Homo-oligomer: A and B are copies of this chain.
Amino acid sequence: MMFRRTGAQVRERTQTQNLRTDSKTTLKVIPLGGIEEVGENMTIFEYGDDILVVDMGLGFPDETMPGIDYIIPNTKYLEENKKRIRGVIITHGHLDHIGAIPYIMPKIGDPPIYTMKLSGEFIKKRLEEFHLLGRSQIHELNKDDVLTLGNFRIRFFRLNHSIPDGVGLAINTPAGLFVYATDWKFDHTPVDGRPTEFDKLAKFGGEGVALLMSDSTNAEKPGYSLSEKTLGETIDRILFEAKGRVIFSTFSTSVSRVQQVLNSAHKSNRKVVITGRSLVNNVEICLSAGYLNLPAKGMIIKTEQARKLPDSQVVYLVTGSQGEEAAQLARIARSEHKTIEIKKGDTVVVSASPIPGNERSISAVLSNLARLGAKVLYQKILDIHTSGHAYQEDLKLMISLTKPKYFMPIHGEHHMLVAHADLARNVGIPDENIYILESGQMLELSASGAKVAEAKIPTGYVFVDGLGVGDVGEVVLRDRQVMSKDGMFVVIMTIDRKSGKLTGQPDIISRGFIYMKGSEDLLKEVKHEVRKVVETKNGGRVPKEPNWAYIRSEVRDQIGEFLYQRTERRPMILPVVIEV
């Protein structure tokens, strides 16, 4: 998810400024993304000649970026300094932390990647999809390993999150120890039995933490986040009580949720059909890497087998919990799914909270499912989702455990970072020791203290659209916005080079503006207006050097104004002169 700096416009901030490598004893912390938006998480750490990169996430477009598939951070600075990159550390396998890897790695010399086992499997899968597997080394580490990369000495600590195997980083540099707490929550009873390593956090606190960077996603939510396990009973109850089939939808990366569905299915004597590409892939990866356990052999079955079972013995695990048009649940809701057709007696569970911006699509999907006869259960009706991110009290505990001198809220939109800063103040971090940065700004940390450097590295969104990376910018997006609002209107004028006159009626091509078949009169008038402009402007004389640019600009203005008077719409006017 993405919250943009401005709702109305995309700003591109690509000024390059010279970076003075102030001193050899300064650590630079440079977030490239994830601090002005949710998504695109990527941070550079730099000490002396060594650069360490943490995470390479992508972001999703908002409504001001029609047609854009993804957004990735601008990595110009890294490209120019690729020789100094000692490694890339990935904290966990979510797309907002690994998604940009295939786009960025080839541009920065494919440095080695260090990560935990499951995250490594997700990264390999992604690289494979882009035919890039094998270009960079992927080192799968153990959470108790100590990794040394140049001036950086890195220890790991386990964090809970909605995907297993997430780790935070404790990085020793000559400028001090800093703790990087990526997406996390505390969970004392995690479904995978692997709780947060509080002991390590306390130990770092004892050693003296210079800087804590911590996840702000839920910094505005009071209280504590709930354990994933609290959902177990609810899922049990749903599966026991449903007389018919249960269609259960969640994020394909919510591995613990999937585990709980498997557990409940086993208890209620149901088999599980898994459908949707990303879910099938992820379950496969997690099963083979040992991060999902089948309560019984043969529990996962194919649709054809499910058809032979009584409805009360089947659960379908499907993608599409965000109402995504192309995912399984939306197809089922539109009665376009090739194997699952809703019937009375079905129970549909949407086990995810809506990512802002998806509320309407989800609501439409729910309504269609209800209309087809399904009983629909979702967040508003019962507690069927817990967040993977820490709430206010958890965030305070993290700060209290690590006792940092300086604090930098990360992972969130600006107002979330501000809320997180308030919490830090509450637990005793002095205001002047809290740093809310913008993308590309750098915090300089040395024995003598911390400060934000005046220089910034180039930043800005790089758009991925189809095969193109970075070939869609502000101009293209603005054109898309204009055309999506009022359509476009092409006026083709075939003009005789010699006489300077139109050879016939101008041709009009228009789309998205008005229903053309019902607007013959308007079009006739437009053609008349065009003729008037051409004839007036050329003055009926044979122009020595016909000024087509001038004619085009006059037609654009005057036809634009004419159409606005008639319709109060402003289609994009595109005048074309064909000289014959």
| Partner-B contacts on A (CB < 8 A) | 2-8, 36, 62-63, 66-67, 220-221, 323, 325, 330, 334, 356-357, 359-361, 363-371, 376, 380-381, 413-415, 418-419, 465-468, 471-473, 475-477, 479-481, 483-488, 490, 492, 494, 503, 507, 509, 511-515, 518-519, 566-569, 572, 574, 576, 578, 580
**Nearest Cβ on chain B to A103's Cβ, whole angstroms:** 14
Contact between B515 and A6 (Cβ–Cβ < 8 Å)?
no
Contacts of A357 in B (CB 8 A): 357, 359-360
Contacts of A483 in B (CB 8 A): 480, 483-484, 487-488, 511-512
**Nearest Cβ on chain B to A564's Cβ, whole angstroms:** 8
Contact between A368 and B418 (Cβ–Cβ < 8 Å)?
no
Nearest B residue to A323 via CB reads B7
Nearest B residue to A66 via CB reads B484
Q: A381-B419, A484-B484 are in contact. Are A511 and B359 (CB under 8 A)?
A: no
Contact between B514 and A468 (Cβ–Cβ < 8 Å)?
yes
Name A415's contact: one of B363, B477, B486, B576 (CB within 8 Å): B363
Contact between B490 and A479 (Cβ–Cβ < 8 Å)?
no
Contacts of A574 in B (CB 8 A): 490, 509, 511
Alpha-carbon gap, A301 to B519, bound state (A): 49
Contact between B3 and A492 (Cβ–Cβ < 8 Å)?
no
Q: A356-B359, A360-B356, A415-B366 are in contact. Are A576 and B507 (CB under 8 A)?
A: yes
Alpha-carbon gap, A569 to B381, bound state (A): 40
| A364, A418, A473, most chain B CB atoms within 10 A | A364
Alpha-carbon gap, A101 to B475, bound state (A): 40
Alpha-carbon gap, A569 to B468, bound state (A): 9
Contacts of A418 in B (CB 8 A): 370, 376
Name A487's contact: one of B415, B480, B507 (CB within 8 Å): B480
The 6 closest A-B pairs by CB, nearest first: A484-B484, A466-B568, A367-B414, A356-B359, A7-B364, A480-B512
Contact between A466 and B569 (Cβ–Cβ < 8 Å)?
yes
**Nearest Cβ on chain B to A469's Cβ, whole angstroms:** 11
**Nearest Cβ on chain B to A40's Cβ, whole angstroms:** 15
Contacts of A5 in B (CB 8 A): 364, 367-368
Sample 13 A-B pairs with CB under 8 A, ordered by A number. Answer: A4-B364, A5-B368, A36-B367, A63-B360, A359-B359, A367-B413, A466-B569, A467-B566, A476-B514, A490-B574, A490-B576, A507-B578, A578-B578
Contact between A476 and B480 (Cβ–Cβ < 8 Å)?
no
Contact between B486 and A67 (Cβ–Cβ < 8 Å)?
yes
Contacts of A471 in B (CB 8 A): 514-515, 518-519
Contacts of A568 in B (CB 8 A): 466-468
Nearest B residue to A419 via CB reads B381
Nearest B residue to A3 via CB reads B363
Contact between B220 and A515 (Cβ–Cβ < 8 Å)?
no
Contact between B487 and A3 (Cβ–Cβ < 8 Å)?
no
Contact between B515 and A473 (Cβ–Cβ < 8 Å)?
yes
Contacts of A367 in B (CB 8 A): 3, 5, 36, 413-415
